[in-house]
């Protein structure tokens, strides 16, 4: 812990620095590859939508010791009445869940009786849920509407609390997180349920929280930046990332560990269920959200800001000042670390004497 504390102190003071913003092309390429894989998976495999979205019937049959044989029995029972089970899974260690396409009431009653006979339980012991395609379509629309409203509110908040470049960068990072998380769901084949949608909205909020913390430090570091000529916007943003890096890592690890334990217990002990639907969205979303707040949101923000006239002028002044300092033999500040941080003299820099120019005659 002391080493991590020392690292956090060195990152904050600038003694150690990682060039996240300067290496943005590398992070963009990595994200682009992952997004292409996610998009290809969505197109080829698609999402495994639950009956709440596509409509259908669900039967939960209580079984003392469910096994692979029990799953086969359930499929056989459904087939015996001329229907096909779209999904048969073990839930909670003592329940067989059977899902079918949309059925009439008569067809549903036949399947219920066949399952009760096959597993030697009473008809009333089987929990039956029928969802019509119209209702399922309405749930899908509401989920999409909730996501759009969330993104609009996020854009308004960021633009009001910070400025429009931060709002744009934050939204791009959020969309990045959603696409990758959805791609993971398509790749894994996990069922998408209303609990999954709740998980999506939760991880978007988590990602936004992490991004806002970094942006707040960026705003602090760049306040009054254009009045001087010591540091560009990208360098000040990179310093903010380094200063908040340990906090981001600590927060993510603390949040991910309990979610991972829920996910593992859900898969190993409980089987498919609402717990897994929610846990996978949270785990993937938190992981991707932490990545995007460090490697995507802030580099995009710096890229947008560096195109503004005042920041272009600032960069020219900074470059001119460094060039003149090196030519005339003045003292210049050399960063300790890999990132090109140049700021006011302090513990984050070392002072060195620049070589004297012959032309200066000194």
Residue at token pair 């959200």: 289
Distance CA 133, CA 103 (A): 10
Most confident stretch, 21-35, 138-152, 306-320: 21-35
pLDDT band with cut points at 50, 70 and 90 for residue 89: confident
Distance CA 175, CA 292 (A): 10
Domain extents for the chain? Answer: 2-49+135-309, 56-131
Nearest to 139 by CA among 198, 93, 75, 190: 198
Comparing 273 with 233, the larger pLDDT belongs to: 233
Reply yes or no on whether the pLDDT at 22 is more than 70. Answer: yes
> Which pLDDT score is estimated for 333?
43
> Which pLDDT score is estimated for 302?
92
Q: What is the mean pLDDT of residues 45-62?
A: 83
Distance CA 326, CA 328 (A): 6
**39-43, 309-313, 339-343: the lowest-pLDDT one:** 339-343
Nearest to 70 by CA among 95, 104, 100: 95
Q: For a pLDDT cut of 70, what percent of the chain falls above it?
A: 78
Distance CA 263, CA 31 (A): 25
Token code pair at residue 348: 């984050």
β partners of residue 48: 191
β partners of residue 353: 331
CB 336, CB 13: distance < 8 Å: no
Q: What is the pTM of this model?
A: 0.72
Comparing 362 with 251, the larger pLDDT belongs to: 251
Comparing 50 with 216, the larger pLDDT belongs to: 216
2-49+135-309: CATH number? 1.20.1640.10
Reply yes or no on whether the pLDDT at 59 is more than 80. Answer: yes
Reported as a single tens digit per residue, the pLDDT across 112-127 is: 898 888 888 888 888 8
> Which pLDDT score is estimated for 347?
39
CB 100, CB 77: distance < 8 Å: no
Residue at token pair 């073990």: 90
Reply yes or no on whether the pLDDT at 334 is more than 50. Answer: no
What average pLDDT does the chain have? 78
Reply yes or no on whether the pLDDT at 36 is more than 80. Answer: yes
CB 189, CB 267: distance < 8 Å: no
| Domain at 56-131, CATH from 1.20.80.10, 1.10.3720.10, 3.30.70.3400, 3.40.50.1100 | 3.30.70.3400
**96-105, 188-197, 236-245: the lowest-pLDDT one:** 188-197
Distance CA 195, CA 181 (A): 14
Comparing 146 with 14, the larger pLDDT belongs to: 146
Reported as a single tens digit per residue, the pLDDT across 258-273 is: 888 777 766 655 555 5
Taking CA atoms, 258 is separated from 84, 262, 276, 280, in Å, by 38, 6, 13, 12
> Which pLDDT score is estimated for 93?
67
pLDDT band with cut points at 50, 70 and 90 for residue 189: confident
Q: What is the mean pLDDT of residues 270-282?
A: 66
Token code pair at residue 63: 């079984």
Comparing 302 with 162, the larger pLDDT belongs to: 302
């Amino acid at each position: 812990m002391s080493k991590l504390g020392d690292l956090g102190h060195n990152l904050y003071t600038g003694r150690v620095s990682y060039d996240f913003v300067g290496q943005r092309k590398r992070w963009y390429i990595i994200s682009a590859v992952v997004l292409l894989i996610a998009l290809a998976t969505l197109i080829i495999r698609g999402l495994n939508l639950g009956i709440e979205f596509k409509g259908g019937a669900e039967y939960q049959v209580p079984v003392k010791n469910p096994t692979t044989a029990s799953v086969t029995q359930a499929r056989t029972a459904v087939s015996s009445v001329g229907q096909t089970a779209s999904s048969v899974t073990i839930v909670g260690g003592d329940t067989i869940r059977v899902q079918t396409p949309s059925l009439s009431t008569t067809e549903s009653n036949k399947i219920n009786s066949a399952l009760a006979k096959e597993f030697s339980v009473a008809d009333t012991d089987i929990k039956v849920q029928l969802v019509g395609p119209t209702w399922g379509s309405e749930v899908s629309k509401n989920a999409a509407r909730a996501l759009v409203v969330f993104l609009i509110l996020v854009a308004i908040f960021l633009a009001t609390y910070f400025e429009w470049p931060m709002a744009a960068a934050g939204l791009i990072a959020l969309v990045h997180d959603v696409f990758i998380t959805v791609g993971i769901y398509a790749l894994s084949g996990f069922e998408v349920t209303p609990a999954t949608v709740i998980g999506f909205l939760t991880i978007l909020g988590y990602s936004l929280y992490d991004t806002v913390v970094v942006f707040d430090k960026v705003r602090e570091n760049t306040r009054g930046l254009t009045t001087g000529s010591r540091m560009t916007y990208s360098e000040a943003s990179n310093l903010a990332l380094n200063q908040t890096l340990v906090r981001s890592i600590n927060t993510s690890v603390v949040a991910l560990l309990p979610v991972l334990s829920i996910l593992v217990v859900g898969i190993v002990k409980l089987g498919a269920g609402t717990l897994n639907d929610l846990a996978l969205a949270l785990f993937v979303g938190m992981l991707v959200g932490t990545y995007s707040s460090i490697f995507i949101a802030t580099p995009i923000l710096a890229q947008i800001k560096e195109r503004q006239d005042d920041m272009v002028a600032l960069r020219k002044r900074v470059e001119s000042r460094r060039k003149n300092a090196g030519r005339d033999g003045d003292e210049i500040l050399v960063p300790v670390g890999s990132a090109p941080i140049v700021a006011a003299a302090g513990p984050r820099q070392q002072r060195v004497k620049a070589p004297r120019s012959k032309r200066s005659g000194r």
